[in-house]
Chains A and B, each alone.
Chain A
Amino acid sequence: DTGVSQNPRHKITKRGQNVTFRCDPISEHNRLYWYRQTLGQGPEFLTYFQNEAQLEKSRLLSDRFSAERPKGSFSTLEIQRTEQGDSAMYLCASSLGTDSGNTIYFGEGSWLTVV
């Protein structure tokens, strides 16, 4: 499968624990995005990368959240000291990042439940 891959697909963690999600974008896609989606809502933009550079972070991304894309390929999203309000689906997406190839492809998401 050559789509956007995310893991783990589901994570249940206790409040206060740290969690990390991984995203493998479509090969050769320069741009990588992270979104968060809660039940009954549309996805909300968190951050995005152009190759290994993190170009923008939403104000939704508190200092407990950190994202990296060290080699411009896969990315990780870490949430430290999780809170119940962090429970959501975390979606990764990627695109070529060119004028002719900016279609965004989403992964299947990583569900986080904080108990």
Chain B
Amino acid sequence: TQLLEQSPQFLSIQEGENLTVYCNSSSVFSSLQWYRQEPGEGPVLLVTVVTGGEVKKLKRLTFQFGDARKDSSLHITAAQPGDTGLYLCAGPLGSGNTGKLIFGQGTTLQVKP
């Protein structure tokens, strides 16, 4: 059974601090995605990582895909209040290119000014 576990589940930090969110699985994924979701809204795709060991940067956000393609991390440098939200990792559910996704339970980030 595919499962994505995120840690930590909750994170409350001060503006300017750095943080890392982890997404782990015992299953190999062909790709992993990271989404950000604000209260009352749908998830918005941030990045897709495809190659084991891949690192992608999006401004102050750095995403890494594990060498074995079983885990991923999201690192935020100098967090800002605008980074507050629910961060979700997701991977393809099942086989085939169906677009179905399995999500982690999410990490709720609160950045205090």
A positions within 8 Å CB-CB of B: 4, 31, 33, 35, 40-45, 48, 55-56, 91, 93, 95, 97, 99, 102-109, 111
B positions within 8 Å CB-CB of A: 4, 9, 40-45, 48, 88, 90, 93, 97-106, 108
Task: Classify the interface of chain B: helix, strand, loop or mixed.
Answer: loop
Contacting pair B45 A103 (CB below 8 A):
yes
Contacting pair A102 B105 (CB below 8 A):
no
Residue of B nearest to A99 (CB): B97
Contacting pair A108 B40 (CB below 8 A):
yes
State the Cβ distance, A58 to closest chain B Cβ, in Å.
9
Note all chain A residues with C-beta closer than 8 A to B108: 40
Contact A56/B44 with A40-B106, A41-B105, A41-B106 known, Cβ cut-off 8 Å = no
Note all chain B residues with C-beta closer than 8 A to A42: 4, 88, 90, 103-106
* Other 14 A-B pairs with CB < 8 A, given A48-B98, A104-B101, A107-B42: A4-B42, A40-B106, A42-B105, A44-B103, A45-B101, A55-B98, A56-B98, A93-B42, A95-B99, A99-B97, A104-B45, A105-B45, A106-B44, A108-B40
Contacting pair A109 B88 (CB below 8 A):
no
CA gap between A111 and B40 in the complex, in Å: 8
Note all chain B residues with C-beta closer than 8 A to A106: 42-44
Contacting pair B40 A97 (CB below 8 A):
no
Across the A-B interface, give the 8 residue pairs with the lowest CB-CB distance, nearest first.
Answer: A42-B103, A106-B42, A42-B106, A95-B99, A108-B42, A106-B43, A42-B88, A43-B103
Note all chain B residues with C-beta closer than 8 A to A109: 40-42
State the Cβ distance, B53 to closest chain A Cβ, in Å.
23
CA gap between A21 and B93 in the complex, in Å: 24
State the Cβ distance, B73 to closest chain A Cβ, in Å.
17
Residue of A nearest to B41 (CB): A108
Sample (5) of A-B pairs whose CB atoms are under 8 Å apart: A33-B99, A41-B106, A45-B100, A48-B98, A55-B98
CA gap between A108 and B39 in the complex, in Å: 10
Note all chain B residues with C-beta closer than 8 A to A108: 40-42
Q: Which of A55, A91, A102 contacts B42 (CB 8 A)?
A: A91
Residue of B nearest to A106 (CB): B42
